[in-house]
Amino acid sequence: MEDGNGWFVNKSRFSLFKNSEAGTFYFNMKFSGVLRKRAFWIANYQDEKNYVQFEIDERTITMSVIADGKSTTSKSVPHPLVKNDNYYPVSIQVDPNRVVFGGLQNGRYNQFYTWTSQSGNLLERRFGFRGEVDLSAFRFLAAQ
């Protein structure tokens, strides 16, 4: 849903994409939440009980594997995302076997976190967002 100021506001449980093409998503993101501002990026989505989740907050990124409804969470890793006004410019590259996060710093996107899948081709499953997230300037650039 458009908020009238160029921001797409999603409040669905999952907003997922199916894209069989490797490439990079670029967008501006505002973190949602009252007590803890954060966003959730989903990869390798099979169903509501089987997917990989990346939780990004103002300081860290944390990866969790949800399998049969049970979550296994990795250690949180600090990220270098730089807030621009009230949003974060983010890039997420999706390849057949990995997801790479980047942030805009000094005019260019720098990669800061890579996750490699051990369970097949990520482009065969869906990916996207979980829960409330505010996005603008959303675009996709196919891999060359």
* 3 lies in some domain: no
For residue 88, being part of any structural domain is answered with yes
DSSP β-bridge partners for residue 103: 90, 110
37: in domain: yes
Pairing of strands 126-130, 108-116: unpaired
Mean predicted confidence (pLDDT) in 40-60: 92
pTM of the model: 0.85
CATH number at residue 12: 2.60.120.200
Is 1 part of a structural domain of the chain? no
DSSP 112-129: EEEEE-SSS-GGGSEEEE
Asked if pLDDT for residue 2 goes beyond 80, the answer is no
Domain count, the chain: 1
Q: What is the pLDDT of residues 3-21, one digit of tens each?
A: 556 665 656 678 887 777 8
**Structural domain harbouring 120:** 8-142
Q: Is residue 33 part of a domain?
A: yes
